[in-house]
Amino acid sequence: MRRAEGTLGLVSSVAPADPARRLLERRTGHPVISLYLDLDPERFATAPARAAQIRSLIDQAARELDAADGLGHDDLVTLRADLRRIDDYLNSREPPFRGAGALGLFCSGQDDLFEVIQLPRPTAGRVVIGRSPYVEPLVAVLQQRRWLVALVNRRAGRVLGGPLDRLEEQANFDEYVHGQHEQGGWSQARYERSVEKDTDDHLRRVAEAVNERWRSERFERVALGGPVEIVPRIEAQLAAEVKACVVPKRVEVDLSSAGDRDIRHALAKVVLEDEKRTEREALDRLAAGVGSGGRGVGGPEGTLEALNERRVQTLLLEPGFDQHGARCQTCGLLMLESGGRCPADGGPVEELDHLREAAIEAALGQGAEVMIVRHYPDLGPLRGIGALLRF
C-alpha cells in the first residue's frame, strides 16, 4: 500500500490484502461514499470518456444527498465535503488509472477514510451512500485466485505469477543443456547420463525459483506446464507446501514457440477447470448437509439464521440473487421482514433494498469466504443462496 501524493489518502492494489474485509472492519456507522469507476478500455480509455462518467456519478450522488432521508445535518455537511473531495481527486492527475480495469473509491471524512483500490477487471460504474462501504464488486476480485505458473522444457523455463488477467513474469531461464549424442557405445551411455543430469539441474533451478516466489508472495494455486515426461520431474523438486497446491491439469503449451497470449489462453483452460471443480465440491458438500442436520443450509431463511449465529464458513450465492430485507441498527441481526423492533435486543430496524450486500458484509465480518457460483444451477431450488457451516 502506498500513500497518494499530497494528503488525499491511500491507494492499494487488491493483491497483497483482503480489501473488502479490511474496509468493513473500519466501519463505525458513519456514512461512507463508495464509488466504482469503470475503466473498460473499450469504453473509457480516453480522458474525456472518463470525465463524462465521473461527472455522471458525482451528479447522481449529489441528487441522492439532496433527497436523502434520515441523515442529520452534520452527516450531510460532511458527505457533501466528501463528494467534493472525490470529485477533485478523480479529476486530478492522482488516480492510478494505468493498468486498472476499474477503481473502487471509499470516502468518509468522519472516519478519516479515503482509500482507492485498483480492480484488475472492468466493473460497472456506480456510487452508493450507506452506513458501511459497499463491497460487493470487490468480492469477484477476492474470488479470483492468484496463480504461480511454471512452464518448462529441457532447455528453458518461465515462472509467472498473479491473477489470470494480470500475469507477470517472475523468472526466466534459458540454459544450455547438452544435445543428444549420436554415436553408440559406452561413451553414449555416459553422455546421456550427463544430459539427464543437466536437465535435472535445470529443473531444480526452476523449482527453487517457484519455491522462493511462493514463500515471498501470496498465491492460492500452482500450475505446471511442459512436456508430459518433464512436468513430473519438476513437480518432484517442489517444496511440500507448494506441491500441495499444484492443480492436476497440465498447462498445455510449447514453451519454445508460445507467446504471452498463447500462455494466457492455455492457462485459462486450467483456471476454468479449477473454478468448476471448486464450485462442484462446495455444492456437493452443501447438498449433503442441507436437510440432514449436516453442515449446510439453503434458502434465505436458513442462511440468514446461520449468518446471525456466526456459523457460516462459506456463503454461496447465485450471481442474480437479491431481495429486500431488514437489519437491526444496534446488533446487526438480519431479517427477511422489516417493521417493529429487533426481536433480539429491541433495537430499531432498518429496511434493506439489497439483502445480497448485507449477507456478504455479514459473512466477511465473521471471517467467512464468499463464493459466487457461476458454472452450476444448483442454488436455483434454494432461491439463490446457501451456506456451508463451521458447526
* pLDDT tens-place string over residues 284-338: 999 999 977 789 999 999 999 999 999 999 999 999 999 999 999 999 999 999 8
Interior CA angle at 84 toward 80 and 88, to 5°?
170
Sheet of strand 325-328: strand arrangement: 334-335, 325-328, 349-352
The runs of H, that is alpha helices, within the chain are 19-25, 47-66, 73-90, 136-143, 186-216, 231-235, 240-243, 260-289, 299-308, 355-365
Distance CA 258, CA 244 (A): 27
CA 216 to mean position of chain CA atoms:
19
**Polymer length of the chain:** 391
Domains annotated for the chain, with CATH where assigned, are: 2-142 (3.30.960.10), 147-275 (3.30.420.60), 290-389 (3.30.1330.30)
Beta-sheet pairing, 10-13 with 113-119: parallel
Tell me the CA distances in angstroms from 203 to 232, 233, 312, one per residue in order: 10, 7, 43
For the record, the C-alpha cell of 27 comes out as: 466501519
Residue 226 β-bridge partners: none
pLDDT for residue 312: 98
CA 308 to mean position of chain CA atoms:
25
For the record, the C-alpha cell of 266 comes out as: 492455455
Spell out, as residue ranges, where the chain has pLDDT lower than 70: 1-17, 142, 175-195
For the record, the C-alpha cell of 168 comes out as: 507477470
Asked if residue 37 lies in contact with residue 57, where contact means CB atoms within 8 angstroms, the answer is yes
H or E segment to which residue 130 belongs: strand 126-130
Distance CA 199, CA 203 (A): 6
The DSSP secondary-structure symbol of 41 reads T
pLDDT for residue 181: 45
Sheet of strand 147-152: strand arrangement: 168-174, 156-162, 147-152, 221-225
pLDDT for residue 187: 58
pLDDT for residue 191: 53
3-class state of residue 212 by DSSP: helix
3-class state of residue 334 by DSSP: strand
Residue 350 β-bridge partners: 327
Q: What are phi and psi of 126, to 5 degrees?
A: -165, 160
For the record, the C-alpha cell of 311 comes out as: 456459523
For the record, the C-alpha cell of 180 comes out as: 543428444
What's the whole-model pTM score? Answer: 0.81
3-class state of residue 389 by DSSP: strand
Distance CA 57, CA 350 (A): 25
Distance CA 85, CA 101 (A): 22
pLDDT for residue 77: 95
Asked if residue 174 lies in contact with residue 206, where contact means CB atoms within 8 angstroms, the answer is no
